Amino acid sequence: MEGLKPIRVTKEEGGEEGQLLSPMSRIFHQPNSSIYVIVFVGFKTPIKPDAIKATLAPIFLKHPHFCSLLAVDDKNGGEMRWVRTQVNIDNHVIVPMLDPSMEKESPDKSVEDYASNLSKTAINKSIPLWDVHLLNFKTSEAESTIILRVHHSLCDGISLMSMLLSCARKVSKAEELPTIPTIKKRNPKNVNSGGFWQFLLKLWWLMLLCWNTIIDAAMFMATVFFLEDTKTPLKGPGFRFGFESTPGPRRFVHTTISLDDVKLVKNAMDATINDVMMGVTQAGLSRYLNRKYGTNDSYNELREEDENNPIS
């Protein structure tokens, strides 16, 4: 999506220079590559806008990027910088007026449509690049919903989760922040066991690692210069070098899964929750594409697998 032009500022004598954007943040501001992170949060009670503003302001405004403007320094060849500014929280907390009939007839779809429309627009760069949208109507899973939209140059998923976690408090002690359980360290294995065969195994593993690294690097460079990604229904018509030159409509569809089931798979596979979620996402996309665009043989195979495995 194409946003507004960055603000151009001229540094005054003794003025604040601002912080240079990281290389990855600059990529997120390239033409036709503006990327936003959109977060859904459901609540069991109706939302009070004043309470949300009072909660978010002291937490979000501690983060330098959340109270900084994107500015272009004309004196240094158009360098992009974060320049601190005063934030008016009212400009970032939005209570939209939606069609009441849509809220009653299909509230879940209304939330998804609203998020889809957010993905088609950009935040005005005269303010810090984040906003919060309060949808104060009941859905099938929540009494109200908050949609947080943040430009990806401000932060990543890990920092966002940390910030959202800092908004919560313990049930037992309302004044304390929630704690995250630490992972117990496993007892290290004896590195000297195995002798000669262990040395050969490690050497073979190292050779495979080097070979795969060379192949991956060669394929990456070839893709950058002359190869193209495989054409799939998930790929838009205007992708080039990883950027989307002709943005198309986006659709947000969500589902709810049990965290207990995720933990069960995680423990059975001796993996992480992230591994399980990536596997679920990949399996879901693969099955969807095969059913919708695959051959009849592949579809029949997937249908037989589903009949034999009802929990898939």
Residue-wise pLDDT tens for the chain (312 aa)? 444 444 444 444 444 567 888 888 888 887 767 788 999 999 999 999 999 998 888 888 888 889 999 888 777 767 888 999 999 999 999 999 888 877 778 888 889 889 888 888 888 889 999 999 999 999 988 999 999 999 998 988 888 888 888 888 888 887 888 887 776 666 655 555 567 888 889 999 999 999 999 999 998 888 878 877 667 667 655 544 444 444 556 677 778 888 899 999 999 999 999 899 999 999 988 888 888 776 655 555 555 655 545 444
Q: CATH homologous superfamily of domain 7-166?
A: Chloramphenicol acetyltransferase-like domain (3.30.559.10)
For residue 90, the tally of other CB atoms under 10 A from its CB is 9
Helix, strand, coil content of the chain in percent (nearest 5):
40, 15, 45
DSSP for 77-135, please give it. Answer: TSEEEEEE----GGGTEE-----HHHHHH-HHHHHHHHHHHHHTS---TTS-SEEEEEE
The tokens describing 174, both together, are: 């309302």
Q: State pTM to two decimals.
A: 0.70
> What are the backbone angles phi and psi of residue 209, rounded to the nearest 5°?
-60, -45
User: Which residues are annotated as catalytic?
Assistant: 152
Query: What is the spatial distance between Cα 8 and Cα 5, in angstroms, rounded to a whole number?
Result: 9
Tokens of 17: 């220079």
Q: What are the residue ranges spanned by the domains of the chain?
A: 7-166, 257-308
